[in-house]
């Protein structure tokens, strides 16, 4: 995960960071990274990465022009962390659903306040780790005891996100999740996703029925699919391409709201569906995971150049 061999000792003291600063953006606290090779912004709320900008390049992530940076509100763009369930609770497996006591989609982690665990810096890389202790504080919406630890690794080569869940409870923990990455494009109609060509998918817009993908995924209006694949992907847009390599995932969500849903979506301009696509590294629907006491599972994605 890291190429730095002589890392500085663990330090949470801002005085010892060369490239990372605390910053209040909107109403939220963030870690703002200004490394000579890249910039990045990670919010404590949601452990939410909103920007990753290698030197002399445009942002690799899409952030809505009308995103609201407010306590308790999910940020529209970047990489929301959907955890410990993905999507509509009612569409989850019974083992996952039985722990959920709300209708809200995508879990509570994306609006919860995470704790900073570590910042490591080197001449090549910055790593930021945050944790969320999901205990009885969340009992109103979810039953369980688990810890989520997320590590972002930034370098000139790209950005890696690794989310490790450990079951601290004595019962088996069933959960679903996604790294809900928003990518920018100048024109959705000239964008496509390669690498899903031989997989089956659930089309949530066609009665949640199964279909088989042939060739690249193109975007012709609203698209909302759960692919049964965790294979490497390439996203092609008019500005270039990105490679996505996942770990611990056998499902990938591809989403674009199209014009009608965009008009209804919170914190999202009507036109913005033309300028983004989500390709989400997931453990969704049948790909949910079960952890016995003390066991861990890591879901990760490496976003790089192709
Ligand atoms: O508006 P939210 O809760 O951020 O969800 C956005 C989208 O997230 C995607 O992951 C889902 O597949 C879509 O169905 C959903 O609309």
Which tens digits make up the pLDDT trace of 83-131?
999 999 999 999 999 999 999 999 999 999 999 999 999 999 999 999 9
For residues 274-283, average pLDDT: 99
Q: If you average pLDDT over residues 182-186, what whole number do you get?
A: 98
Confidence (pLDDT) at 16:
82
- Tell me phi and psi for residue 176, to 5 degrees: -125, 165
Mean pLDDT of 153-172: 98
Residue nearest to atom 4 of ligand 1 (CA): 76
Complex confidence, ipTM: 0.98
Residue 5: CB partners within 8 Å, gap ≥ 6?
Answer: none
How far, in Å, is the centroid of ligand 1 from the Cα of 208? 15
User: Ligand 1 mean position to 239 CA, how many Å?
Assistant: 25
**Residue 5 clears pLDDT 60, i.e. is over it:** no
pLDDT at 258 over 70: yes
Pocket test for ligand 1, best of 87, 253, 256 (most atoms within 8 A of CB): 87
CA distance 207 to 11: 50
Pocket mutation for ligand 1, best pick of 80, 203, 225, 255 (most atoms within 8 Å of C-beta):
255
- The ligand 1 atom nearest the CA atom of 80: 4
User: What average pLDDT does the segment 204-214 reach?
Assistant: 98
- Computed over every residue of the chain, the mean pLDDT equals 95
Architecture of domain 18-305: Distorted Sandwich (2.70)
DSSP codes of every residue in 80-110: -EE-S--S-GGGS-HHHHTTB-S--TT-STT
For the CA of 82, the closest atom of ligand 1 is 10
With tokens 């972002």, the residue in question is 152
Check whether 28 has a pLDDT greater than 90.
yes
Residue 295 scores a pLDDT above 80 = yes
Mutate to test the pocket of ligand 1, among 105, 219, 262, 264 (most ligand atoms within 8 A of CB): 105
Q: What is the pLDDT of residue 82?
A: 99
Q: What is the DSSP letter of 8?
A: P
Portion of the chain with pLDDT greater than 70, in percent = 95
* Ligand 1: centre distance to CA 149 (Å): 23
Ligand 1 atom closest to Cα of residue 280: 10
73 Cα: distance to centroid of ligand 1 (angstroms): 14
Residue with CA nearest ligand 1 atom 7:
255
Of 229, 238, 240, nearest in space to 279 by CA: 229
Q: State the distance from the centre of ligand 1 to the C-alpha of 167, rounded, in angstroms.
A: 26
Helix (H, G, I), strand (E, B) or coil at 272: helix
Which atom of ligand 1 approaches the CA of 105 most closely? 3
Map out the domains of the chain as residue ranges: 18-305
Cβ(111)–Cβ(82) below 8 Å? no
From the CA of 87, how far away is ligand 1's center (Å)? Answer: 7
Mutate which of 224, 251, 281, 282 to test ligand 1's pocket (most atoms within 8 Å of Cβ)? 224
Q: Which residues line the pocket of ligand 1, CB cutoff 6 A?
A: 74, 87, 105-106, 180, 224, 253, 255, 280
| End-to-end CA separation in angstroms for the chain | 18
What's the pLDDT at 14? 65
Average pLDDT over residues 30-44: 98
* Predicted TM-score (pTM) of this structure: 0.95
């Amino acid at each position: 995960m890291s190429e730095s061999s002589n890392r500085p000792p663990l330090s949470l003291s801002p005085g010892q960071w060369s490239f990372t600063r605390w910053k209040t953006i909107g109403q939220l606290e963030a870690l703002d990274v200004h490394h000579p090779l890249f910039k990045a912004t990670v919010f404590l709320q949601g452990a939410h990465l909103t920007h990753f900008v290698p030197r002399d390049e445009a942002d690799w992530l899409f952030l809505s022009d009308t995103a609201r940076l407010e306590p308790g509100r999910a940020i529209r763009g970047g990489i929301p962390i959907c955890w410990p369930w993905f999507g509509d609770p009612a569409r989850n497996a019974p083992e996952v659903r039985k722990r959920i006591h709300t209708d809200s989609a995508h879990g509570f982690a994306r609006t919860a306040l995470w704790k900073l665990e570590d910042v490591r810096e080197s001449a090549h890389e910055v790593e930021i780790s945050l944790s969320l202790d999901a205990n009885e504080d969340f009992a109103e919406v979810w039953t369980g005891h688990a810890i989520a630890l997320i590590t972002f690794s930034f370098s000139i080569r790209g950005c890696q996100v690794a989310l490790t869940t450990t079951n601290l409870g004595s019962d088996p923990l069933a959960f679903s999740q996604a790294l809900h990455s928003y990518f920018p494009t100048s024109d959705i109609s000239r964008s496509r996703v390669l690498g899903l060509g031989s997989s089956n998918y659930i089309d949530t817009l066609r009665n949640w029925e199964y279909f088989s993908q042939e060739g690249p995924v193109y975007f012709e209006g609203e698209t909302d699919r759960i692919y049964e694949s965790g294979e490497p992907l390439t996203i092609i847009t008019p500005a270039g391409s990105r490679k996505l390599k996942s770990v611990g995932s056998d499902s990938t969500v591809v989403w674009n709201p199209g014009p009608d849903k965009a008009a209804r979506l919170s914190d999202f301009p009507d036109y913005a569906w033309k300028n983004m696509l989500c390709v989400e590294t997931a453990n969704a629907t049948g790909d949910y995971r079960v952890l016995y006491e003390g066991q861990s599972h890591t879901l990760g994605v490496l976003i790089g150049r192709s």
